[in-house]
Amino acid sequence: MNINELEKMKNEGVEHLPSLERRAFLRAGLAITGLYMGGTILSLTSARDAQGAVGSMPTSSKYPYKPHYSMVMRQNLCVDCELCMEACVRTNHVPSYGWRTTILERTRTIGPDQKETIFMPVLCNQCNEPPCVRVCPTVATYKDRTTGIVVMENRKCIGCKTCMAACPYNARYFNEEVRAVDKCNFCLDTRLSKGMKDTACVEACPAHVRIFGDLSDPNSEVYKLVHQPETTVWVLRPETGALPNVFYMNVVLDI
Amino acid sequence: MEFIARVLPQEGGLEVSRSRLYNGVIGLLGVFTLVGIAFGLHAMFVGYHHVYGVSREVPWGLALAGYVFFVVTSTGLCLVSSIGHVFGFEAFKPIAKRSVFLAIATIISGFLVIAFEIENPWRMAVYNIISPNLTSSIWWMGTLYGAYLFFMLIEFALLQMGRHKLAGMLGLLGVIAGVAAHSNLGAVFGLLNAREFWHGPYMPIYFITSAMMSGCAAVIFFHWVAYKINGWKMSAEMERSLCSVAKLGALLYVVIMFFTTWKMISGMYGNPPGKYEAVMALINGPYANNFWYGEVGLGLVIPFLIILAVRARNLAAMAFGSACSIVGIFVMRYDLVVVGQIIPGYHELNITNLPHILPYTPTLHEWMVTLAGFSFCAILFMMGERLFRGHLSEDH
């Protein structure tokens, strides 16, 4: 109906409206107001869990491996001392031209003429859906059946380097000495299999940036950190669908 | 021995020039090939990452681009030749024998180059068979190209023996294996979720279509060169056949122009992260000369305009256009391989000291290995002319 025609019509008034219709109108109004109110109140509270912020956090309470090894980076504790990198090189015989773990430096503007430097340690994310494992023609790289760690079987590596191209995290390099692609394996061969409980980088970190443990164990520190209420936990490049097992968070500093 | 005698024609056909120049050129190409292989062996011995320009961020370089170039050309030659002797279109029959031979020559040259790109090719021979990964495009590509080469060799032998019907059936198997292998080569790039420039269904589709385009250029160029260097007179049927190939080529240049246009537009529209930066590197960045002069100019526009200008009739002009196109297509393969890797995975995180575009420059070793592929391909071509007496078939 045209608004001009509507204008010409006689006003019927509200006195003849049935009370049912009046109530329906009020209810709609309340519903709309309530929705906005509720929304406002909700947005004042921090998210109860980190899912909204990340999108690819583990959604099921069951983890596919036991122990399901993972690492949490308490990023704002990192001071870039690089002791983790040194320990890794020593433990895993990483050649000078390669790395299994490194620290990336980021700069963020936090005000006019104010900048903040963030140190971001990175390593293999031991993904649940690892793109590198998918593309390897000879199963030279695979998920360890017990721990879920992405490992290499050097003698099968043909050196096609597709895993390096496929990795979203730049976690792989070709080691000319062993003639195979090399990568972080959470020190599975050098420490974990010898009964040690953590990786070389975790042990070396003086600031306790890196927390390592079994994500499938609700009593482990990694489980507690990742499932902490009111804390945002994130992963790197979630859009690739790799479902990484290295999580990042910032801790509240009491300074 | 009897088999060889039946495959190798003893008389008839065309006699290759016996001049010292012809033999000298083959000898020179042989030296290039051996020098290139020596460089490749040296790289294999000391470790590729020490002498090649590739890095952990850009693991694939010129040698892989060279391999892709050769296998694209091989698949294209197989597909274009199949139009005649597999699918029965008369106009494409005279080019069949030489094209099938060249399909074999180019894929062998491709394998020669990839042997010095893959770090441990000997392990591939073993573990591809005893430890296959069926979700790997590389596995499928390697296996299917193996089947493809096998079918093409049998097909060529049958063509030589005059068993055209059986050859056609093997040709069909070759076409199927070739298309499957080649689309899997596209999938090697297209199925990498983390590489935005490559990721998606475009790569396998583009690879097949541009293979046909490369095939047309290679058919025209090599036929013209074969007749030119030996001073042979082309039959009217052969000329007509090459003109038909040129018409198909013109269509395919347009198709690839269309594909490239939309690839570029979709890479710019709305600045898709990762893809945008790569596409801009081609359009307006460090790869702009490669893209505009190499890919667009030499690879597509010049050969297309020449075919239009001579109305697909002047063979010498079209052979020149095809040569331009072959050079341009090589640049296309190089850009496709390299530009897909130059945008760092962490580019959106504003990392200090991380270049916006990762550097890659081929080294002497990489150039020499690639040159070995080209020299070896040329040797196979020239020897093929001699051994198979101009690749003439009795019925043409």
CA distances in angstroms from B390 to A83, B12, B225, B383, B394, listed in the order given: 69, 10, 11, 10, 12
A21 burial (CB, 10 Å; 0-12 / 13-18 / 19+) is exposed
CB contact under 8 A, A165 and B346: no
Contacts of B116 (CB under 8 A, 6+ apart): B37, B40, B41, B43, B44, B63, B369, B372
* DSSP alpha helix (H) spans, B131-201: 137-160, 164-190
Count of domains for chain A: 1
In the numeric block, which tokens belong to residue A184? Answer: 């972080």
In the numeric block, which tokens belong to residue B199? Answer: 């990721």
Within 8 A of A73 by CB-CB distance, chain B residues are none
Q: Which among B59, B124, B354 has the least Cβ separation from residue A164?
A: B59
Domain parsing of chain B, residue ranges: 54-347+356-360
Report the predicted TM-score, pTM, of the whole model to 2 decimal places.
Answer: 0.88
CATH number at residue A163: 3.30.70.20
A18 occurs within a structural domain = no
CB contact under 8 A, B192 and A137: no
Q: How far is B86 from chain A (nearest CA, A)?
A: 32
Q: How far is A226 from chain B (nearest CA, A)?
A: 22
C-alpha–C-alpha distance, residues B63 and B76, integer Å: 20
CB contact under 8 A, B119 and A131: no
Per-residue DSSP letter, B351: B
- Which chain B residue has the Cα nearest residue A166? B192
Q: Which among B136, B344, B351 has the least Cβ separation from residue A137?
A: B136
Give residue A164's domain range.
51-249
Q: Which among A120, A140, A165 has the least Cβ separation from residue B192?
A: A165
Each residue of B104-154: pLDDT tens digit? 999 999 999 999 999 999 999 899 999 999 999 999 999 999 999 999 999
- Whole-number pLDDT of residue A50: 37
A45 occurs within a structural domain = no
Which residues is A101 bridged to in the sheet? Answer: A123
- Whole-number pLDDT of residue B188: 97
CB contact under 8 A, B194 and A174: no
Q: Which of A101, A110, A128, A160 to mutate to test the interface with B (most CBs of B within 10 A)?
A: A160
What percentage of chain B exceeds 90 in pLDDT?
85
In the numeric block, which tokens belong to residue B256? Answer: 């690839």
- Whole-number pLDDT of residue A12: 73
CB contact under 8 A, A158 and B133: no
Q: How far is B17 from chain A (nearest CA, A)?
A: 42
Supply the ipTM of this predicted assembly: 0.92
- Whole-number pLDDT of residue B208: 96
Dihedral, CA atoms, A91, A96, A102, A108, nearest 10 degrees?
160
In the numeric block, which tokens belong to residue A70? Answer: 């993972």
- Whole-number pLDDT of residue A52: 38
Each residue of B52-94: pLDDT tens digit? 999 999 999 999 999 999 999 999 999 999 999 899 999 999 9
The pLDDT-based confidence of B197 (bands split at 50, 70, 90) is very high
Give the residue among B148, B110, B149, B146 at the shortest CA–CA distance from B129: B146
How many Cβ atoms are within 10 Å of B37's Cβ, its own excluded? 18
Q: How far is B200 from chain A (nearest CA, A)?
A: 12
CB contact under 8 A, B193 and A168: yes
Q: Which of B50, B127, B140, B144 to mutate to test the interface with A (most CBs of A within 10 A)?
A: B127
What values do phi and psi take at B69, rounded to 5?
A: -60, -45
CB contact under 8 A, B192 and A179: no
Each residue of B362-384: pLDDT tens digit? 999 999 999 999 999 999 999 99
B387 pLDDT higher than 70 = yes
Q: Which amino acid is at B77?
A: L
- Which chain A residue has the Cα nearest residue B56? A173
CB contact under 8 A, B60 and A161: yes
In CATH terms, the fold of domain B54-347+356-360 is Formate dehydrogenase/DMSO reductase fold (1.20.1630)
pLDDT of chain A, 255 residues: tens digit per residue: 676 777 777 777 767 777 777 777 777 776 666 555 544 443 333 333 333 334 445 555 578 898 999 999 999 999 999 999 999 999 999 999 999 999 999 988 899 999 999 999 999 999 999 999 999 999 999 999 999 999 999 999 999 999 999 999 999 999 999 999 999 999 999 999 999 999 999 999 999 999 999 999 999 999 999 988 888 999 999 989 999 999 999 998 766
Q: Which among A157, A168, A173 has the least Cβ separation from residue B120?
A: A157
CB contact under 8 A, B124 and A105: no
CB contact under 8 A, A166 and B354: no
CA distances in angstroms from B260 to A57, A71, B336, listed in the order given: 37, 43, 11
- Interface of A to B at Cβ within 8 Å reads 97-98, 104-108, 117, 120, 131, 134-140, 155-162, 164-170, 172-174, 176, 179-180, 236-237, 240-242
Q: What count of Cα atoms within 13 Å lies in the side-chain half-sphere of residue B100?
A: 36
Q: How far is B55 from chain A (nearest CA, A)?
A: 8
The pLDDT-based confidence of B10 (bands split at 50, 70, 90) is low
A255 occurs within a structural domain = no
B260 pLDDT higher than 90 = yes
B393 pLDDT higher than 70 = no
Mean pLDDT of the B340-361 span: 92
Each residue of B305-325: pLDDT tens digit? 999 999 999 999 999 999 999
Cβ-based contacts under 8 A for chains A and B:
136
Q: What rounded mean pLDDT belongs to chain B?
A: 94
Give the residue among A94, A179, A8 at the shortest CA–CA distance from B50: A179
Within 8 A of B48 by CB-CB distance, chain A residues are 159, 174, 176
- Whole-number pLDDT of residue A57: 53
CB contact under 8 A, A156 and B127: yes
CB contact under 8 A, A174 and B59: yes
A28 occurs within a structural domain = no
- Whole-number pLDDT of residue A38: 46
Q: How far is B332 from chain A (nearest CA, A)?
A: 19
What length is written for chain A? Answer: 255
- Whole-number pLDDT of residue A16: 72
B4 pLDDT higher than 90 = no
Q: Which of B119, B134, B339 to mutate to test the interface with A (most CBs of A within 10 A)?
A: B119
Within 8 A of A165 by CB-CB distance, chain B residues are 59-60, 192, 195, 340-341
Q: How far is A247 from chain B (nearest CA, A)?
A: 16
The pLDDT-based confidence of B7 (bands split at 50, 70, 90) is confident
- Which chain B residue has the Cα nearest residue A183? B56
- Whole-number pLDDT of residue B8: 76
Q: Which among B123, B128, B352 has the least Cβ separation from residue A105?
A: B352
- Interface of B to A at Cβ within 8 Å reads 46-50, 54, 56-57, 59-60, 118-121, 123-124, 127-128, 131-133, 135-139, 142, 188, 191-195, 340-341, 344-346, 349-354
